[in-house]
């Protein structure tokens, strides 16, 4: 995909709507923490920018004031804000504080409905990030934006700042973490955002009469990435492209699938301080302790020789839980197995899975919401991890699971297809169990396949756990690929002029 040229140090502005540990609603937060750390290890000067949401406690994270006030010129007004700073492994992390935009209990919505001014909120974040660079005299070689929330960085650099000497040498990279969420808004926001009518066209921002943030980024970004090679291929056509397939196809030479890595500082059974007992390939005894603790935590029968299937997921259609719902009770009545669920999302799925423990006590456990301890406990204590996703740009939990010797059961899509090696019953090799069809019974028979392997072929289970735990998906390789993508973006920007 890239040549092996020497990686030179770059100044990188990395802007995201969420960054772990400060705020998290999904995998974007993990990537926005781990990738900057990996880039810094390669010698890059990285600065991270995100909103200072109401939930981010200034005292807990030792936020220090940097600029107050800072004026940000939007399309039809000057907006004032404050900037605070913290650190992740000596990487400066800047927080844009604006009470009207970010002083709310939710991130993108109030729990039921998306905030009516999300276009203004995240357009402002992009402009504030660029203004911050000016005020601290940080001239980025690369402005790296992530998903629709920060998609306007690239258009701003190509329009407002096109002939600005400060950003004259700044190239843009736009990363698609999930193309299903594109940032589609009413054109009433155009004036505030400073997007001229000449850019509200079918090839740029216009989308059936509305503004599409992601579509604009696909036109203006110097390079585009997404989070796995398979997903990069899937989004070039419909339905994978969610309407943007033709526009991505126009930029296919600038689109690169770079597999997300995993922060093994956080997800490693040898060093994990959250789980009840550490363990490794050489000594797996701690996994049995974790399994016992998992059964106690979720009120399951303490049966060391019964397989546990775990799920940690957002309860949304993407995650394929609607494939599991019709068969879950058939599974627990026909197979000797236990199931644990951790997640939240759509009310009907919360009610269904949240109600199963009362109907099947000792066999099914559930916790509606997110809990970091329970998530680590499921990864370490379960025997199998379920990810029957309808689509999955990359996925991280299947990679976490493999490191913990918890074999994933996945549908062959996106990053799941790129990371899980399906079990070969003849050789006893593989790192998980894969299926293709979007069908409840395809999942049912794959779970049955896993159960039969657990009971009938224990030597294959041991070999698969060894292979899974030995797999390496560290961020170093991914960071090196991003470094080369940055070089390509700079070259393309230079050719733009």
24 annotated to bind ligand: yes
CA–CA gap between residue 33 and residue 267 (Å, rounded) = 14
Binding residues: 24
Binding residues for ADP-alpha-D-glucose: 24
């Amino acid at each position: 995909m890239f040549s092996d040229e020497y990686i030179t140090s770059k100044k990188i502005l990395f802007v995201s709507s969420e960054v772990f540990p400060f705020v998290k609603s999904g995998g974007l937060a993990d990537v926005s923490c781990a990738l900057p750390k990996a880039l810094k290890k390669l010698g890059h000067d990285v600065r991270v920018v995100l909103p200072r949401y109401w939930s981010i406690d200034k005292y807990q994270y030792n936020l220090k004031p940097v600029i107050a006030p800072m004026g940000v010129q939007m399309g039809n007004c000057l907006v004032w804000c404050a900037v605070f700073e913290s650190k992740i492994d000596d990487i400066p992390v800047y927080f844009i504080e604006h009470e009207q935009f970010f002083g709310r209990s939710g991130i993108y919505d109030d729990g039921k409905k998306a905030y009516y001014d999300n276009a203004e909120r995240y357009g402002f974040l992009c402009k504030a990030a660029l203004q911050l660079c000016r005020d601290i005299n940080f001239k980025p070689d690369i402005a790296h934006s992530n998903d629709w929330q920060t998609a306007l960085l690239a258009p701003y650099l190509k329009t407002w700042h096109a002939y600005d000497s400060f950003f004259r040498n700044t190239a843009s990279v736009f990363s698609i973490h999930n193309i299903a969420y594109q940032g589609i808004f009413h054109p009433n926001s155009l004036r505030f955002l400073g997007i001229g009518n000449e850019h509200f066209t079918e090839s740029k921002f216009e989308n059936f009469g509305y503004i599409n943030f992601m579509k604009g980024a696909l036109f203006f970004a110097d390079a585009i990435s997404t989070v796995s090679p398979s997903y990069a291929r899937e989004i070039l056509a419909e339905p994978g492209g969610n309407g943007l397939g033709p526009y991505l196809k126009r930029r296919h030479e600038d689109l690169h699938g770079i597999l997300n890595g995993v922060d093994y500082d956080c997800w490693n059974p040898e060093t994990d301080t959250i789980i009840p007992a550490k363990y490794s390939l050489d000594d797996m005894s701690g996994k049995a302790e974790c399994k016992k603790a998992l059964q106690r935590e979720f009120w399951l029968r303490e049966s060391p020789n019964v397989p546990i299937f775990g799920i940690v997921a957002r309860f949304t259609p993407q995650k394929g839980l609607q494939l599991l719902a019709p068969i879950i009770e058939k599974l627990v009545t026909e197979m000797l197995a236990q199931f644990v669920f951790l997640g939240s999302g759509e009310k009907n799925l919360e009610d269904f899975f949240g109600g199963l423990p009362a109907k099947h006590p000792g066999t099914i456990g559930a916790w509606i919401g997110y809990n970091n301890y329970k998530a680590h406990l499921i990864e370490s204590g379960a025997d199998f991890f379920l990810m029957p996703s309808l689509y999955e740009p990359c996925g991280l939990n299947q990679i976490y699971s493999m490191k913990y010797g918890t074999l994933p059961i996945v549908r062959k899509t996106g990053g799941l297809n790129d990371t899980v090696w399906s079990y070969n019953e003849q050789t006893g090799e593989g790192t998980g169990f894969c299926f293709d069809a979007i069908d409840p019974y395809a999942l049912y028979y794959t779970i049955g396949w896993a159960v039969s392997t657990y009971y009938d072929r224990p030597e294959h289970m041991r070999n698969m756990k060894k292979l899974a735990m030995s797999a390496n998906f560290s961020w170093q390789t991914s960071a090196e690929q991003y470094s080369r993508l940055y070089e390509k973006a700079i070259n393309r920007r230079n050719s733009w002029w």
